[in-house]
Amino acid sequence: MNISFKWLGEFVDLGGALGAKALAELLTNRGLEVEEVKDLAAGFDKVVTAKILERTQHPQADRLSLCKVVAAPDAAPEEIVCGATNMKAGDVVVLATPGAHLPNGTKIERSKIRGVLSNGMLCSEQELCIAGTSAGIMILPPDTPLGRPAAEALGRDDVILSFKLTANRGDCLSHYGMAREVAAALGRPARLPETMKLPDGGCPVTISLEAGDAAPQFWGCYIEGVKIGPSPAWLSRRLETLGMRSINNVVDATNLVMLELGHPVHAYDADFIQGGKIGVRYAKKAEKLPLLDGTEIELHGDELVIFDAGRAIGLAGVMGGGNSEVQPHTTRLFLECVEFSPSLVRRASQRHQKKTEAAHRFERG
């Protein structure tokens, strides 16, 4: 379980002399073992945001460019030799200045490249160890302030604590859950997440519970007028620093809630919910269910499934169905938040070999 020190601080006061390493030692001594403390800002000294003023051809190399960049509106431009081709004048980029030692081990010095002095390097996501591969240098949003430390601009001004939690500590599989433990250890109050009351309105989807105590509670929320697109940079970076891939604004929001509060939430395209009905029941023997990962499973009859008026649309507590997933053109959503039997989720996850973040939490109650 990865916990962001910065995000944790939104729920409990971590001020004073307490740093990430001291907190890790404190929690380990309380039975919450910290396996690793990783400073995401390591390697970002002397790396800042900058703007390309001009890009021209290198006079001695067809595959190299000369970029004049500034790290402040009133700063003198610096000339950088660059081998990438995906940038243009006006782009905001990440500039490693002389003396920087990048996360991938590259040491930056002033040097002549094919006869032209280069005063630093324009960085790719791969060189910053943000991504495994990259097709060019990193281009930042145009409104990014110039001269800002790149670690701050990229959400890397954080420390990640990796916990090895025992099976009985499902209450700590979220930032708020971990914050309560920290608050108790420090004798400080934990701040509750902000909530809001949604207006009551007509919902075209009815909920049906047909699995008894195996799924006693189901909360649903219908939303229309949705526009699917990329998540804002702060959200995608928050997920990525915790080891989760950004997918789109809706799926990312559900994952954010899970990491924040510990309870998985699933989003369906409401247009794919047949008959205006959704609920929980036991699977039918030999029933087929296509899943989000592109596989299709055959059910045994003792698993819990989410269903609509015509078919199963999700393996309860484990993975949603590919027949009801959010699409790029989705405009209507149905959000699901359900309480499932931990033992049934565990059995379904193991039987069908689907280990997911949702199942990991539901299995622990």
Contact yes or no for 126/104 (Cβ under 8 A): yes
Kindly tell me the burial class for residue 192, based on how many C-beta atoms sit within 10 Å of its own C-beta (0-12, 13-18, 19 or more): exposed
In a domain, 196, yes or no: no
Mean pLDDT of all residues in 102-118: 94
Same domain, 231 and 163: no
Same domain, 247 and 291: yes
* Residue with token string 């199963």: 312
In a domain, 301, yes or no: yes
Q: What is the pLDDT of residue 317?
A: 98
Same domain, 110 and 258: no
Same domain, 210 and 339: yes
Helix axes 233-241, 249-261, angle to 10 degrees: 50
How confident is residue 132, by pLDDT bands cut at 50, 70 and 90? confident
Same domain, 233 and 314: yes
Mean pLDDT of all residues in 295-316: 98
Query: Is 90 exceeded by the pLDDT of residue 15?
Result: no
Q: What is the pLDDT of residue 148?
A: 95
Same domain, 343 and 259: yes
Mean pLDDT of all residues in 166-194: 94
Distances (CA, A) of 270 to 195, 257, 262, 351: 24, 20, 24, 29
Same domain, 312 and 222: yes
CATH number, position 163: 3.30.56.10
Helix axes 175-186, 20-29, angle to 10 degrees: 80
How confident is residue 287, by pLDDT bands cut at 50, 70 and 90? very high
Same domain, 30 and 164: yes
Hey, how many other C-beta atoms are within 10 angstroms of the C-beta on 107? 10
Total domains, the chain: 3
Report the C-alpha gap between 131 and 142 in whole angstroms: 21
Same domain, 22 and 54: no
Hey, how many other C-beta atoms are within 10 angstroms of the C-beta on 109? 11
Mean pLDDT of all residues in 303-318: 98
Report the C-alpha gap between 238 and 160 in whole angstroms: 11
Tens-digit pLDDT profile for residues 199-226: 777 889 999 999 999 999 999 999 999 9
In a domain, 117, yes or no: yes
Same domain, 179 and 301: no
Contact yes or no for 250/279 (Cβ under 8 A): no
SS (H, E, C) 37-102: EEECCCCCCCEEEEEEEEEEECCCCCCCEEEEEECCCCCCCEEEEECCCCCCCCCEEEEECCCCEC
Helix (H) or strand (E) holding 298: strand 296-298
Q: Are strands 296-298 and 288-290 parallel, antiparallel or unpaired?
A: antiparallel
In a domain, 251, yes or no: yes
Tens-digit pLDDT profile for residues 235-275: 999 999 999 999 999 999 999 999 999 999 999 999 999 99
Query: Is 80 exceeded by the pLDDT of residue 322?
Result: yes
Contact yes or no for 274/311 (Cβ under 8 A): yes
Same domain, 258 and 123: no
CA dihedral 219, 223, 227, 233 (to 10 degrees): -40
Report the C-alpha gap between 120 and 127 in whole angstroms: 13
Q: What is the pLDDT of residue 131?
A: 80
CATH number, position 134: 2.40.50.140
For residue 171, the 8-state DSSP code is: G
Contact yes or no for 13/182 (Cβ under 8 A): no
CA dihedral 109, 113, 116, 117 (to 10 degrees): 0
How confident is residue 127, by pLDDT bands cut at 50, 70 and 90? very high
Chain-wide mean pLDDT for the chain? 95
Q: What is the pLDDT of residue 84?
A: 94
In a domain, 195, yes or no: no
DSSP 211-279: SGGGS-EEEEEEEES----PPPHHHHHHHHHTT-----HHHHHHHHHHHHHS---EEEEGGGSGGGEEE
In a domain, 319, yes or no: yes
For residue 120, what are the domain limits? 47-153
In a domain, 169, yes or no: yes
In a domain, 193, yes or no: no
Same domain, 236 and 116: no
CATH number, position 272: 3.50.40.10
Contact yes or no for 340/304 (Cβ under 8 A): yes
Q: Are strands 304-307 and 78-82 parallel, antiparallel or unpaired?
A: unpaired
Helix axes 175-186, 249-261, angle to 10 degrees: 30
Query: Is 90 exceeded by the pLDDT of residue 74?
Result: no
Q: What is the pLDDT of residue 17?
A: 62
